[in-house]
């Protein structure tokens, strides 16, 4: 399990630190894809893609929907 670092956010596509560099490719891909990692704790999320949108669920921080 990866510890959360206070005040740090994570890229919701690749799981790396958001401040670790440019994430232009991740931002471009996120226009078409749901998030894969929780931006608050870096855990891999359970993702379900539906014809009308998507839902992504973190066991600690809950669910996001499109």
Q: Rg of the Cα trace of the chain?
A: 12
- What pLDDT score does 64 carry? 92
How many separate domains does the chain show? 1
Taking the chain (66 residues) in consecutive chunks of 10 residues, what is each chunk's mean pLDDT?
Answer: 58 85 83 91 94 94 92
Q: How many residues does the chain have?
A: 66
41 found inside a domain: yes
49 found inside a domain: yes
37 found inside a domain: yes
1 found inside a domain: no
Q: What is the 3-state secondary structure (H, E, C) of the chain?
A: CCCCCCCCCECCCCCCEHHHCCCHHHHHHHCCCCCCECCCCCCECEEEEECCEEEEEECCCEEEEC
Q: In which domain, by residue range, is 31 found?
A: 18-65
- What pLDDT score does 1 carry? 42
CA torsion 37-39-43-49 (nearest 10°) is -30
């Amino acid at each position: 399990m990866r510890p959360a670092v206070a005040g740090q956010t994570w890229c919701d596509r690749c799981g790396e630190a958001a401040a670790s560099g440019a994430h232009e490719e991740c931002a471009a891909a996120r226009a078409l894809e749901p998030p894969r990692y929780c931006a608050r704790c870096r855990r891999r999320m359970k993702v379900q893609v539906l014809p009308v949108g998507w839902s992504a669920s973190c066991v600690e921080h809950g669910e996001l929907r499109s």
